[in-house]
């Protein structure tokens, strides 16, 4: 906003005003599983609806709609952008690198939070809002990033299954496909992978260039 951009904050399901405060914070995820949906897909739909609203505003340039998000919300934005070309460029800060990296490792931390009362019989709460049933039978996150090409994508502070910084080796292994797609589209510079998001202003400016 300080840079003069119009900003819309998507209040997706389970966040902010739509969060269920009458029960544990994982209620939405459990409900989605029961009805055969995924929170990632529902939230992606919420993001698309915000974009459709913006496109109808007289003071918004439709070709200049970009998005930035953090951590778990990166999954929804990746899906929304892959299926809606109205979202021109995106910046993902702290995104999980892939679902495959979880399936191929015994231990992971995404969706697992410690209970505030350590005396409870089970010390952690499992939240499946990040998951999609049978996702790896069809695609993975790097595949969707390839679908976004040649639009600009910033991947900053990528995370491995333990939500630790992804190693260069893991990044090279998991992101080979989207890198190849961007090179094929003659836009390799539009896929930017950076270790730290120290200057969000610079990232946002690059998205609007």
The predicted-structure confidence for 23-70, as pLDDT tens digits, reads as follows 666 677 777 777 888 999 999 999 999 999 999 999 999 889 999 999
pLDDT of amino acid 117: 66
CA–CA gap between residue 151 and residue 193 (Å, rounded):
14
Per run of 10 residues, the mean pLDDT along the chain (length 209 residues) is 86 79 66 83 95 94 92 95 95 96 90 70 75 93 97 96 95 97 96 92 87
Per the structure block, which two tokens stand in for 99? 């679902």
Q: What was the pLDDT predicted at 3? A: 80
What pLDDT is stored for residue 32 in this prediction?
Answer: 78
CB atoms within 10 A of CB 143: 15
Alpha-carbon span 102 to 50, nearest angstrom = 30
pLDDT value at residue 98:
97
- The per-residue b/e assignment along 45-66, b for 16 or more CB within 10 angstroms, e otherwise, is bbbbebbeebeeeeeeeeeebb
CB-based contacts of 17-24 (< 8 A; 24+ apart in sequence): 24/125
pLDDT at 24: 61
């Amino acid at each position: 906003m300080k840079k003069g951009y119009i900003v819309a904050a998507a209040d997706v399901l389970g966040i902010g005003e739509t969060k269920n405060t009458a029960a544990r914070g994982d209620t939405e995820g459990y409900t989605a599983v029961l009805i055969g949906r995924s929170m990632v897909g529902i939230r992606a739909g919420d993001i698309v609806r915000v974009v459709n609203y913006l496109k109808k505003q007289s003071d918004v340039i439709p070709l200049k709609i970009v998005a930035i998000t953090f951590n778990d919300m990166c999954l929804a934005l990746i899906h929304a952008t892959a299926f809606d070309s109205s979202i021109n460029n995106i910046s993902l800060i702290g995104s999980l690198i892939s679902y495959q990296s979880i399936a191929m490792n015994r231990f992971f931390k995404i969706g697992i939070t410690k209970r505030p009362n350590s005396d409870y019989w089970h010390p952690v709460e499992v939240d499946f809002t990040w998951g999609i049933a049978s996702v790896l039978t069809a695609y993975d996150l790097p595949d969707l990033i390839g679908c976004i090409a040649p639009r600009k994508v910033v991947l900053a502070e990528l995370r491995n299954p333990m939500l630790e910084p992804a190693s260069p080796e893991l990044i090279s292994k998991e992101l080979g496909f989207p890198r190849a797609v961007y090179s094929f589209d003659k836009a390799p510079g539009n896929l930017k992978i950076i270790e730290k998001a120290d200057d969000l202003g610079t990232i946002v400016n690059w998205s609007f260039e």
